[in-house]
Structures are given as structure tokens and as C-alpha cells.
Structure 1
Amino acid sequence: MHKQGMKAWVVPLAIATSAWVKWSIGLGDYSGHATPPMFGDYEAQRHWMELAIHLAPQQWYTYDLQYWGLDYPPLTAYISWLCGKVGSLIDPSWFAFEESRGIETYNSKLFMRSTVVALDMLVYVPALYAFTRIWHKSRSLRTQHASLLILLFQPALLLVDFGHFQYNSVMLGLTLLALNSFAVGRDLLGAVCFVLSLAFKQMALYYAPVIGSYLLGKCIFLGPVQGTRLFIRLAVVTLSSFTLLFAPFLPPIAPLSTFFAAISRIFPFARGLFEDKVANFWCFTNVTLVKWKQLFLGKESRLIKLSAALTVAGFLPAVFGLLWGSFKTRLRTHPQVVSREGEARAISLAAPARTPSPTLPLLLYALLTTSMSFFLFSFQVHEKTILLPLLPLTLLLSGATVGDEVYSLGILGNVVGVFSMWPLLKRDGLGVQYIATLLLWCRLVGYNPFCLRLDSFVGLLSTAVNAAMILLHPLELIVTPPNRYPDLFPVLNVLVSTPVFGFIWLWSIKRGIEVGWALGGLPGSGTDRGFKDHDDGNPTEELLNLPTAGPVKSMRREHGARAVSLGHASGLTLASTSGYRDPRRRAVDRLRGSSAGIDE
């Protein structure tokens, strides 16, 4: 279409085609179809709409918890209320109180499917488009369009939301809007968007350590005055947003017990370490090494603490990298700058309020690290939560060069992510959709899963994993598991998928270290870019404190260029529209102006 002069049609046609694919997936079965008495996730979402429009908010988290009691944060309930109200105007029988349980009429299913597509189009799709325009602004229009196609047709989300039936695209879209806001320096707006994401699904907590570290690091970067001002504003906006969202469950509107009832439903530690076979550390080692539930029988609190400790240890490198990078690149004041008139003045290296943090290139790698850490090590993980690590991984893939490491691992992670959900999709009767969406996406990204790749470790890993996945599917069709091992194939799925997720987690930490080194130097390396005091009266060169030779310089050039290609350069390009490019370069210009007697 680019060659035929139809560039303006690429985006609307891509979005329209993705909507058609989503509708097509929705023609199949869904979670709990014709399976009383609980009817699966589809009925859970419909039932919450029923509760929301018939009960007061104070009863949402306490009414008949045995039949799909609400266990998501309030924003889910508010949106359920809105959908239920609209649906009741069309046909009140769809949400008749207690009488509509298990309803599966054609029109009611059509309405429910429509709500998923509508919310996806209102939140997630605009967030994806904004991402390609903001984070890839320095790239060609062709690259931006290719990136949008990769993101729109990501198979895991399509299968879960439009097949299995959920609204994960709303949570992910709100998180992505937060990332877009950070990239253009609108940190307060980004904080509100992330609070909304948390208030829609508590799984967004997988991102919280990194989002909090990025914002705290931004405060450190800006220095004591502007940083403290931003910190106070962020605290006020975040607390106000949470308070407003939880207001119906807090005094004086409701007793405090109502709030605690909601919290106990949102964080269900009583369910145990895991339920189904999930491709994470606990299920993998439970099969290969130790029976965790037996080892900690009657000591569930210790198991929770162990899970929390491993999770924190897993994402700590990402948090430390963001904070250290902000500290090393922080803006400081030069103590002695001599003007033409001989007057000693202190020059503050101040940055505009909408300056993206220098650690922005680290953000997606850090999000991948922390979300994968939660998926691998945290308590009560579901197969569907692989969607959270897949978001930053796919965002990184969207800006990668064909054949490089990010490209190869991004595709492998997405393919294995879909494969890891196969037991869930099989129960839902989504086998055709599973194969079709996976092959469609592989075609779009130019990936042939049947091709041998022997030129690198990642290539060898991809070849071995693809062969295992391709082999397991026909075996599952023709081989009946022995009575002693009824979960044979789900267990084999875990054994294939978990090592890949573990490798991607370790790789994200490695990449975070490389990009962090490129931006600000490693701890104790002496290569930080912060300002240092010098006595020669000419701070222009020392201000940037860049190495001039040696391996550090080449490493920075290699990884720094890759880092800025996705987000950092885009952020600086956007900021330049307001007369700003780089705070340190601007500070150099100010210092030179001071030496020339120019009063800024």
C-alpha cells in the first residue's frame, strides 16, 4: 500500500481487519459454554454486570460469593455496571437478578461479545496507535505501520479476550497509556492511567514496582527542588485517584469492613500456591524436584513468604537499574562558573517539567523483568497472566530489526506464550482459533516456525522448542494418557514452556544491565554522566563526563544506540518540539552563554 500511494489507508484498514479477526474468533466457544453449574469466565463477567446493576456497591464483594463473587477491583465493577445498564435497556432478561444465571441466548452472547470489542477499541487500540507514533516517532512511517500490525494481531491476547472471554485489553491498554504519557513527560497523567489499570485488574501489580521506580527515579533525576515538587504531586494524584475509586467502600459512605471485604476478595491468598498446571517456577519444580504443597503442609504462610521473597529477588535488578540510572544521570549544580565580568555564579542544570527521564530506554526491559518475575515466582498464578510479560516483550519486538536478538526472543516468547495456554484453550474448544491466529501472526512478523535455525543459541533454542511444540500436538491427539498420569500433556507443556520464560527473564536482566551501562555507567565504574566538580573553571566538557576511548565507549555506543531506537530518541524528539532536546546539552549551551556574558 505504501508503494501504491495509499499510506493513509494502512491504519484504518489494519484496525478494521483486526476487529474482523476478533469477531471471527468470537464465533467459537468460550469459557464455560454449556457447562453448568458455574458456566466459566463468560458467566462470571455477565454475572458481575447483573450484580452491579441490582445491588448497592457495599454488597458487591459480599453477596453470594460461592457463585462468581466479584474478585476484581472497583473499576471492573463500574464498567460492569455500565455494560449491564446498556444491556438491560436492550433486553432486561439478560441481567434479571438471579433468574438470568447461566443464560446463553444468541442475542445475549452477541451483546457480551460486543462489549469486549467495544472496550478494546476504546482503550487498547488507541493506546497501541499512540505507542507507535510516540515511541517510534524517529522511525519511518512504514516501520510504524508494521509495528502496529504486530501489536494489533498479537495472538495471546486475541485468544484470551475474544475467545476464552475476558477484558484484559482494558487493563493492558491503560498501562500502555501510562507508558505513552511517561514518554512525553506527562508523569501525572501517566500515574492516573496506571492507577486506573490497577483499579481494573489487580494483575497490573506485576508492573507496579517498575512504574513506581521509574517515577521515583524521575524525581531523583530532576534534583531536590523540581524532584520534590514532582514527588508531592505524584503522591497527591495517586492517593486521590485511589480514594476516589474506592470511595463507595470507605467511611463515611460505608463501614471500613466493606473495604476490607473488597481487599480480601481482590487478593485471595486462601486459594493456595497454584491451581492448574501453569508454566512457572512452582509447577515446573513441583514436577521435577519437590512437592511444595506437601513440604509446606499446614505452613501456607511460610510458602507465601518464600514466594514473595523469590518474586522480589526476581524483579530487584530492574528496580535497582532504574533508580541507579536516575541517580547517575541526575541534574546537579556546578558550584563555580565564572562569567565574562568575573562574577562567580552557580548554574543549575534544570530540566523542563515535561522532560522524559533518561532511564526511559530501560523501562520496557524493566517491565519485562518484573512481570516475568511475578509470573514465574508469585503466589496463585493463572495461565492467562502470561499476557502481562508478553506486553513489554511485544512492544520491544515491534521496534526490533529482523534477525537480531530482540526480534528472535520476542517471537519465541509470544509463540511459547500462546502454547503455554493450550490446555486452557483446548478446554474452551478454541483449537481452530489457536492455530489460525498463531499462523497469521507468524506470517505478519515474517517468522517460519518450521525453519531450522542453527546459527546462534537463540536460534537453536527456538528450533528445539518449536520441534517439541509441533510434536506434542499430534501426540496429544493420538495417544491416551495412562490412568496414573492423566495430566501428562499439560505437564509436558509446562516442561517445554517454563525454561523459555526463565531464559527470557534472565535475558531481560542482562539487557537492562547493558542499556543501563550505556546510559549512565555501572556502579563504581566511574563512567557516570552526572556532573562532577572541577577546578579548572571550564565545566563544559566535564559536564557530560563521557569516556573518550576504550571498551566502555564502544559498549555504550552499541547498546545505547539500540536503546534509544525504541523510546529514548522518540522522547527527546517530542520534547524538542517545546524547545528542549537534552538537559545536559542545554546546560552546556547555558554555560557557554554565561561565559559570553549572555544572561539567560
Structure 2
Amino acid sequence: MHSLGMRRWVVPSALLASACVRWATGLGSYSGAWRHGTPPMYGDYEAQRHWMELTIHLPTQLWYKYDLQYWGLDYPPLTAYVSWLCGILGSHINPSWFALDESRGIESPNSKIYMRATVFALDYMVYIPALYLFSRTWHATRSKRTQNLAFLVLLLQPALILIDNGHFQYNSVMLGFAILAINCFISGYDLLGAVFFVLSLGFKQMALYYAPAVGSYLIGKCLHLGPKEGTKLFVRLGVVTVASFVALFLPFLPPFSPLSAIMDPITRIFPFNRGIFEDKVANFWCASNVLMKWKFKASAATLVRISTLLTALGFAPAVVAAIASWIRLGQSQPQFSTVVTDEDKDKDAKAKMDTAVAVPVTLQPVLLHALLTSAMSFFLFSFQVHEKTILVPLMPLTLLMSTAPQDSTGFKIGALANNVGVFSMWPLLNRDGLAVPYIALTLLWNRLVGHNPFRIRQSTLFDLFTAAVYLGCITLHVLEILFSPPNRYPDLYPVLNVLLSTPIFVLTWLWSIKSLLESYWVIGPLGFGESSAHHPSTTDSRAPSEIETPVTEKGSSVVGSIGRERGLRARSLGYSTAMAKGGSKRLSKAGSVDEVPE
């Protein structure tokens, strides 16, 4: 569309295509749907509908107490508030959809349309605007073509669509607030980013997977700014974070409720009384349970302690790298502040600008890799992980993938982990009757990003490994279709799925740690932190040795963050680097002209 002069229609067309894909997925089955004339199995669809029912009929103090054996509310208060709002709106259309107790298991056609519409609406209110802002913030110095392509890749990620619009959940709200927080941190609006991150935590507790990375990243920035400015930022972040949590939990605090009422949501949010895992999930505990049989070898309390230790060790590199990168940046750039133009040299203008210090381009990959390392560590080693939780580490991985060339390791890891992430949820999706959307969305997204793992021309060893993994996934599907599992091993295929998927997630976690170390070393006097227009941009997720030096013009001016002022530009999704601003054009790898950002 860019080549046809229809640039303005790219984003509206992408939004329309995304809407069609999401709504078409919603026309299929879902968690707990009626099948073969049997009563509902009361899955996540009924849980979400039931929460709307109880929040509009019961006082706040009973939300986390009422009939807990029947899908008791077990998400943080923001989920309850959104359920209340959706229930109020739905009751105005048809009160019978949310009649207390009497509406349990209701699956009328109109009620299902309304429930699907709530997911659709929240997607376009929170998640999709966050993706659009990310494509404009992270790719600020790149062409509109690159920004739009990255937006489309993120928009149609199959795993989230299958779970939210198919299986039925609202994970996009949690992930959307987390991406908004990332956008704010990149742009230097740390207090606003802290508010968005609290909203993400307040919607689903799985956002805690990002907390070590976010906390250490902000602490590192406080240390970087020095004793005076750093202390100010630390205090402000603490006040804003505490105030945001208090606002979310206010109905459960004095004077609205006794202080003991705060334990009602907390005990429901953190269910340590459950086992180490329930369903088969592609993490360390379920994979190793094939041999170890953890539930028989250790008590639940012991497993909680062990999982906590392993999780902490797993995300420790993210914490260390996020803090150390800021400190290393300070050694090479002790005077870290925004650039003041000739028109803004007066003190008042400078003070206003200093309130929103953009993050240097060399530090931006550290944030996303730290988020990925932390989230994947929680997924692999923490207590009570569900198969759907793979969506949490897939989010920063896909954001990183949107910046990477197709021939880079980052792109290949991102595509592999996304596809295996969808594959790891196959037992759940198959149980929900979502086989057709599973196949269609996976093929559509791979076609869109240009990923063909079976293209063997000039293949590397990793390409051959990837092809073998996909061949294993296909073989397992064929075996499941042709042969029923033996009576002695009814979970044979889900276990084989776990054993095939878990090593890929471990590989992704290790790659993220490696990339964190590389991102750290390219900062500072011995890396790419010095002022030079000829240093490669580290927003590219390749290793430093893989990154090509961008072409710039002497004295060129590039608007953006501190690193981008030096002319730093990274190739993204196969497009070559841009030349400096001023009407110049550049040739892409294919030889076509790609425009410089306006």
C-alpha cells in the first residue's frame, strides 16, 4: 500500500483486518461450551460471566467470599471493577443474563454475542492503542513502512487471539497496560509508567512476572541520576505506586471496610494451598515430574520454597543487568539530560524538559530483555503456572521480534517461541474445540511475518534445529489423530507436548540472558555508549557482531531519544538502515527505495 501511495490507509486496514480475525475467532467454541447436548463444563467463559453477575448484585465486601466453590473471584480488584461495568451494561440489555444464581450456565446466542463484544471492545480500548503507541515510540526514527509492518505483526499475534477471543479471557487488558508502561518508561515518563504498571498488576496478578525487571530498571535509573535527583525520583515512584495500589484496594480498606477485609482478595489472588501445578504445562515442574513425581517427594510448603528459590535465581540476571546497565551508562555519560535547542535554553524550558528524560537508545533493549528473562523465569519455575501464562513472556519477546531483521537470531527465536507457545496450548485449545482457529491463525501469522522454517536454502544449524522442532510438532499432531493413547497412559500426548515445548522455552530464557549480557557490554566506554554517529543501534536484537553500521550524514540531526541524536538506526524486519533526515532516501536490502521517517 505504501508503493501505491495509500500510506494513510495502512493502519485503518490493519485495524479492520484485526477486527475481522478477532470476531471470526469468537464465532467458534470457547472454554466450557455446550457439546453434544451435555451441560456446560463451566470453564473460563462462565467464570467471567459469573463475576459480572456477582459484582453487580453483591456488596464489595462479599465479592471475594461468595460461593467460592463455584468460580469464586480470584483476580485483583481491577478485574472485578471491569466485570462490574460489563455486568451493568449487559443488565441494561437483558437482566436475565446476569441474574444472581439463576443465570448460571446461561449460553443464549445474544448473551454470547455480548460477552464476545466485551473482549473485542477492551482489545480496542487498551491493548491495540498500546501496540500502536509502541510501534511509534520504539520505532520513532524509522520509516512509517517499518512502523506499520511492526504494528501489524504485533496486532495479529496468534496466541493472545486464541486465548482471549477463542478460549475466552481478558489477558489483553493486563498486557495492554504493561505495554503502555513500557512506552512511558522509554519516553521518560516514569511516574505515568508506574501507574500503568500498577493497573496491569491490578487487573491480573500474572503481571508480577514483570515486576523484578521493572523495579530494578527504575532503581537503576534512580542510581544513575545521582543522590539528589535519584532520591527525588525514587520517592515520587514510591508515593505514586503506593497511592495507585491504595486506590485499587480502597473498598477493602478503612473506613469502607475493616482492615482484615484486605486479606479476602489477597488470599484469593495467591492460591498457595493448591499444588505445584494442575494441568500439563510446559515448564520445569511438569516436564521433570515425568521422572521426579514432585507431589509425592515433597510437601506443598517445601515446593513453594524451592520454586521461589529457582524463580529468583532465574530472574536474577534481569535484575543485575537492568541496574548495572544504568550505572555503566553513567560512567560513559555522566551528564545525562535531554538536549535543549537554541530556542529552549532558558531555565524554565529546561526544567520542563528534564521532567521527561527519554531513555538512551542503548538502554531500550535492556528493558525488554529484562522483562522477557523475568517473565520466562516465572513461567518455567514458579508455583501454580497455567498453560495460558506463556502469554506473559511472549509479549516482550514479540515486541523484540518486531525490531529484528528476518535473518537475525532474535527474529528466529521470536518466531519459534511464538509458534511453540501456541503449540504448547494445543491440549487446552483442542479441549475447547478451537482446532480450526489454531491452524488458521498460526499459518496466517507466519505468512505475515515471512517465516518459513522449511526453507532449507543457505540454512544455518539453528534453522535446521527449528525445522526439526516444527517437524516434531506436526508428527505429534498426526499421531494424535491416527492413534488413541493407551489406557495406561491417557495423558501421553499432553506429556509429549510438554517435553517438546519446555526445551524451547528454556532456550528462549537462556538466549534472553545472553542478549542481556550483550546489551550491557555495548553500553559504556568499551561498547557503543560513547558519542559517535557511527555506532550501531542496539535496538536491534542481534548480537553486536551481527549488527551492521548504519549510514549517516555528517552533522545530521535526528529527533528522538539521546541515542538517536547520533544517527543511530536499526534495521527492522528486513529493512535496511535509514539515512539522516533532510529528504534523503535509502535503498532497502531488496534494492527498493524506502523512505526516511517524516
Please indicate the TM-score interval, normalised by the length of the shorter structure: 0.7 to 0.9
Q: Does 1:209 align with 2:212?
A: yes
Determine the structure 2 residue equivalent to 1:431: 435
2: CA distance, partners of 1:58 / 1:139: 50
1:389 match: secondary structure = helix
Determine the structure 2 residue equivalent to 1:505: 509
Q: Does 1:125 align with 2:133?
A: no
Determine the structure 2 residue equivalent to 1:41: 44
Q: How far did residue 416 of structure 1 move?
A: 0.3
Determine the structure 1 residue equivalent to 2:355: 353
Determine the structure 2 residue equivalent to 1:292: 294
Instruction: Assess, with a 3 A threshold, how the Cα gap between structure 1 residues 562 and 266 changes in structure 2: closer, same or farther.
Output: farther
Q: How far did residue 144 of structure 1 move?
A: 0.9
- Equivalent residue runs for 1:90-109 within 5 Å: 90-109=93-112
Instruction: Assess, with a 3 A threshold, how the Cα gap between structure 1 residues 36 and 220 changes in structure 2: closer, same or farther.
Output: farther
1: CA distance, partners of 2:245 / 2:71: 25
- Equivalent residue runs for 1:574-593 within 5 Å: 574-575=560-561, 581=565
Q: Which amino acid aligns with 2:544?
A: E
Determine the structure 2 residue equivalent to 1:442: 446
Determine the structure 2 residue equivalent to 1:308: 308
2: CA distance, partners of 1:305 / 1:248: 32
Determine the structure 1 residue equivalent to 2:581: none
- Equivalent residue runs for 1:540-579 within 5 Å: 558=544, 573-575=559-561
2: CA distance, partners of 1:482 / 1:374: 33
1:45 match: secondary structure = helix
- Asked if the contact 2:453/2:463 (under 8 Å) is kept, the reply is no
Q: Does 1:260 align with 2:273?
A: no
Q: Which amino acid aligns with 1:170?
A: V
2: CA distance, partners of 1:562 / 1:85: 55
Instruction: Tell me the percent identity.
Output: 59
Determine the structure 1 residue equivalent to 2:329: 329
2:54 match: secondary structure = helix
Question: In structure 2, which of residues 183, 197, 202 is the aligned counterpart of residue 199 of structure 1?
Answer: 202
Determine the structure 2 residue equivalent to 1:495: 499
What is the total number of aligned residue pairs between the two structures? Answer: 533
2: CA distance, partners of 1:276 / 1:225: 50
Q: How far did residue 321 of structure 1 move?
A: 0.4
Q: Normalising to structure 2: TM-score of the pair?
A: 0.85
Q: Does 1:11 align with 2:11?
A: yes
1: CA distance, partners of 2:519 / 2:324: 12
Question: In structure 2, which of residues 358, 365, 368 is the aligned counterpart of residue 364 of structure 1?
Answer: 368
Bigger-Rg structure (1/2): 1
Instruction: Assess, with a 3 A threshold, how the Cα gap between structure 1 residues 453 and 57 changes in structure 2: closer, same or farther.
Output: farther
Determine the structure 1 residue equivalent to 2:538: none
- Asked if the contact 2:127/2:172 (under 8 Å) is kept, the reply is yes
- Asked if the contact 1:206/1:374 (under 8 Å) is kept, the reply is yes
Instruction: Assess, with a 3 A threshold, how the Cα gap between structure 1 residues 462 and 576 changes in structure 2: closer, same or farther.
Output: closer
2: CA distance, partners of 1:574 / 1:464: 42
2:522 match: secondary structure = helix
Q: Which amino acid aligns with 1:62?
A: K
2: CA distance, partners of 1:415 / 1:333: 43
- Asked if the contact 1:72/1:265 (under 8 Å) is kept, the reply is yes
Q: Which amino acid aligns with 2:230?
A: G
- Asked if the contact 1:61/1:70 (under 8 Å) is kept, the reply is yes
Determine the structure 2 residue equivalent to 1:520: 524
Q: Which amino acid aligns with 1:464?
A: A
2:330 match: secondary structure = coil
Question: In structure 2, which of residues 274, 278, 282 is the aligned counterpart of residue 275 of structure 1?
Answer: 278
Question: In structure 2, which of residues 410, 413, 436 is the aligned counterpart of residue 409 of structure 1?
Answer: 413
Q: Normalising to structure 1: TM-score of the pair?
A: 0.85
Q: How far did residue 562 of structure 1 move?
A: 8.0
1: CA distance, partners of 2:524 / 2:214: 19
Instruction: Assess, with a 3 A threshold, how the Cα gap between structure 1 residues 333 and 409 changes in structure 2: closer, same or farther.
Output: closer
Q: Does 1:151 align with 2:180?
A: no
Q: How far did residue 449 of structure 1 move?
A: 4.0
1: CA distance, partners of 2:402 / 2:202: 28
2: CA distance, partners of 1:557 / 1:285: 32
Instruction: Assess, with a 3 A threshold, how the Cα gap between structure 1 residues 414 and 60 changes in structure 2: closer, same or farther.
Output: same
- Provide, for residues 267-306 of structure 1, a one-character-per-residue CA deviation record: whole Å limited to 9, x for no partner: 001111000110000111111x31111110xx22111010
Q: Which amino acid aligns with 1:177?
A: L
1:519 match: secondary structure = coil
- Asked if the contact 1:519/1:560 (under 8 Å) is kept, the reply is no
- Give unmatched runs, 5+ long, in structure 1: 335-348, 522-526, 531-543, 550-555, 566-571, 583-600
- Asked if the contact 1:518/1:560 (under 8 Å) is kept, the reply is no
Question: In structure 2, which of residues 162, 177, 180 is the aligned counterpart of residue 174 of structure 1?
Answer: 177
Q: How far did residue 138 of structure 1 move?
A: 1.4
Q: Which amino acid aligns with 2:315?
A: F
1: CA distance, partners of 2:334 / 2:18: 51
Q: How far did residue 70 of structure 1 move?
A: 0.2
Determine the structure 2 residue equivalent to 1:233: 236
Q: How far did residue 23 of structure 1 move?
A: 0.5
Q: Which amino acid aligns with 1:461?
A: F
Q: How far did residue 389 of structure 1 move?
A: 0.8
- Provide, for residues 139-161 of structure 1, a one-character-per-residue CA deviation record: whole Å limited to 9, x for no partner: 11111111111101100001000
2: CA distance, partners of 1:409 / 1:301: 35
Q: Which amino acid aligns with 1:202?
A: Q
2:74 match: secondary structure = coil
Deviates more, 1:35-44 or 1:476-485: 35-44
- Equivalent residue runs for 1:49-88 within 5 Å: 49-88=52-91
1:228 match: secondary structure = helix
1:246 match: secondary structure = helix
Q: How far did residue 216 of structure 1 move?
A: 0.9
The two structures, once aligned, show a CA RMSD in angstroms of: 2.6
1: CA distance, partners of 2:325 / 2:547: 16
Determine the structure 2 residue equivalent to 1:461: 465
Q: How far did residue 69 of structure 1 move?
A: 0.4
Q: Which amino acid aligns with 1:187?
A: D
- Asked if the contact 1:76/1:201 (under 8 Å) is kept, the reply is yes
Determine the structure 2 residue equivalent to 1:160: 163
Instruction: Assess, with a 3 A threshold, how the Cα gap between structure 1 residues 281 and 558 changes in structure 2: closer, same or farther.
Output: same
- Provide, for residues 502-555 of structure 1, a one-character-per-residue CA deviation record: whole Å limited to 9, x for no partner: 00100000010001100137xxxxx4899xxxxxxxxxxxxx599x99xxxxxx
- Provide, for residues 460-489 of structure 1, a one-character-per-residue CA deviation record: whole Å limited to 9, x for no partner: 221110100111111101101101100010
2: CA distance, partners of 1:562 / 1:328: 23
- Asked if the contact 2:32/2:40 (under 8 Å) is kept, the reply is no
Q: Which amino acid aligns with 2:192?
A: L
2:292 match: secondary structure = coil
Determine the structure 1 residue equivalent to 2:30: 30
2: CA distance, partners of 1:491 / 1:511: 30
- Provide, for residues 57-106 of structure 1, a one-character-per-residue CA deviation record: whole Å limited to 9, x for no partner: 11100010000000000000000000000000000000001100000000
Q: Does 1:476 align with 2:476?
A: no
Determine the structure 1 residue equivalent to 2:575: none
Deviates more, 1:453-462 or 1:231-240: 453-462
